[in-house]
């Protein structure tokens, strides 16, 4: 386990092109062995598209999130769902298995290889699914992107979705990008529609644990009105002040219903274990 974590940390800190090249080289053999020994299940993506492998854990994470959706809100089989940052469809697949023929799923991601894989392997099996590539710049994940996140407009009509979710997206976004996305989320949500978004939340407890060196992530650098773990590439991981988050939600017509803390800061009052990040569920006013 420590070797896998070390490999991930080394790869993640390399320049983007070298990172991508090595990932494909490192995991090509493992993907080939999966096929040879019959370990590749239907609709299981290659390890290289999961960035650093470990797809058993990631697949279970997708299922757990869907269970969380159903448990924490009135998630109906007929809902129209938007998954921003859908990746290789780890949540898309269990969501689509849950939805009936009246439900609809839309996935958006900045990694073109992931979207291509999803359209080839998931959308062909679920007629109510569609995946769209958004060529948005991100210093860590899409450094050649042509669109700025602060200017991006979701390619959907207003009030199109019952439920929108983002996992590990705002944790890699700058403040002006987050503000734009919250505005767009509010625009495309139906009245009383809900959104689930993960964050690294800075409150009194998480700040105290960071200062004490107990947090699993060291948000040591100030960046605009937030904190980051990497002063050279802030998008590596960004944490936001809870009161600022609340103001941004209110400004964009979103009312926070619930906050569930994860374990990234090593706080004792963890209220969910499906992700180490913090979860905010809000609804459109």
The continuous run of DSSP H or E covering 278 comes out as: strand 278-284
pTM over 0.75: yes
Whole-angstrom Cα distance, residue 187 to residue 254? 10
In 3D, which of 32, 59, 24, 57 has the Cα closest to residue 43?
59
Torsion, Cα 9 10 12 16, to 10 degrees, reads: 180
SS3 24: helix
Whole-angstrom Cα distance, residue 103 to residue 101? 6
Whole-angstrom Cα distance, residue 210 to residue 202? 10
**Which superfamily does 58-284 belong to?**
Vaccinia Virus protein VP39 (3.40.50.150)
Question: Would the CA dihedral through 111, 116, 122, 123 be positive or negative?
Answer: positive
What per-residue string of b and e applies to 107-118 under the rule 16 or more CB within 10 Å gives b? Answer: bbbbbebbbebb
Average per-residue pLDDT in the chain?
88
Q: What is the pLDDT of residue 3?
A: 55
Whether residue 18 has pLDDT greater than 50? yes
Whether residue 59 has pLDDT greater than 90? no
Helices within the chain (DSSP H only) = 2-12, 16-36, 55-72, 92-98, 112-121, 175-188, 204-211, 242-251
Instruction: Kindly report each contact of residues 5-10 with a partner whose C-beta sits within 8 Å and lies 24 or more positions away, as own/partner.
Output: 7/52, 8/52
Q: What is the pLDDT of residue 48?
A: 75
Whole-angstrom Cα distance, residue 223 to residue 240? 10
- Asked if 111 and 68 count as a contact pair (C-beta separation under 8 A), the reply is no
pLDDT in tens, 130-140: 999 999 998 87
Whole-angstrom Cα distance, residue 195 to residue 255? 10
Q: Any idea which of 15-19, 27-31, 98-102, 193-197 has the lowest mean pLDDT?
A: 15-19
Whether residue 5 has pLDDT greater than 80? no
Q: Residue 36: how many CA atoms within 13 Å on its side-chain side?
A: 6
In 3D, which of 159, 162, 178 has the Cα closest to residue 235?
178
Instruction: Quickly state the pLDDT bin for 4 (edges 50, 70, 90).
Output: low
In 3D, which of 44, 49, 35 has the Cα closest to residue 112?
49
Whole-angstrom Cα distance, residue 50 to residue 23? 10
Whole-angstrom Cα distance, residue 108 to residue 283? 21
In 3D, which of 193, 249, 184, 169 has the Cα closest to residue 81?
193
Whether residue 1 has pLDDT greater than 50? no
Q: What is the pLDDT of residue 58?
A: 59
């Amino acid at each position: 386990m420590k070797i896998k974590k070390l490999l991930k940390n080394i790869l993640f800190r390399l320049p983007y092109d070298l990172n991508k090249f090595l990932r494909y080289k490192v995991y090509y053999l493992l993907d080939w062995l999966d096929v040879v020994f019959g370990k590749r299940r239907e609709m299981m993506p290659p390890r290289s598209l999961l960035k650093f492998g470990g797809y058993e854990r990631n697949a279970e994470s997708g299922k757990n999130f869907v269970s969380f959706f159903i448990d924490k809100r009135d998630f109906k089989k007929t809902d129209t769902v938007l998954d921003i940052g859908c990746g290789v469809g780890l949540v898309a697949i269990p969501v689509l298995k849950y939805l009936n023929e009246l439900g609809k799923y839309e996935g958006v991601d900045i990694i073109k290889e992931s979207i291509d894989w999803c359209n080839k392997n998931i959308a062909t099996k679920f007629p109510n699914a569609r995946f769209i590539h958004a060529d948005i710049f991100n210093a860590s994940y899409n450094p050649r992107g042509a669109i700025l996140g602060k200017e991006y407009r979701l390619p959907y009509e207003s009030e199109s979705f019952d439920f929108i979710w983002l996992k590990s997206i705002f944790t890699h976004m700058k403040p002006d990008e987050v503000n734009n996305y919250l505005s767009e989320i509010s625009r495309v949500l139906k009245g009383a529609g809900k959104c689930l978004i993960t964050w690294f939340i800075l409150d009194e407890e998480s700040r105290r644990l960071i200062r004490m060196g107990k947090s699993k992530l060291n948000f040591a650098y100030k960046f605009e009105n937030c904190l980051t773990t990497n002063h050279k590439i802030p998008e590596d991981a960004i944490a936001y002040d809870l009161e600022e988050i609340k103001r941004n939600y209110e400004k964009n017509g979103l009312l926070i219903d619930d906050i569930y803390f994860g374990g990234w800061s090593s706080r004792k009052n963890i209220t969910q274990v499906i992700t180490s990040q913090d979860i905010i569920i809000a609804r459109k006013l």
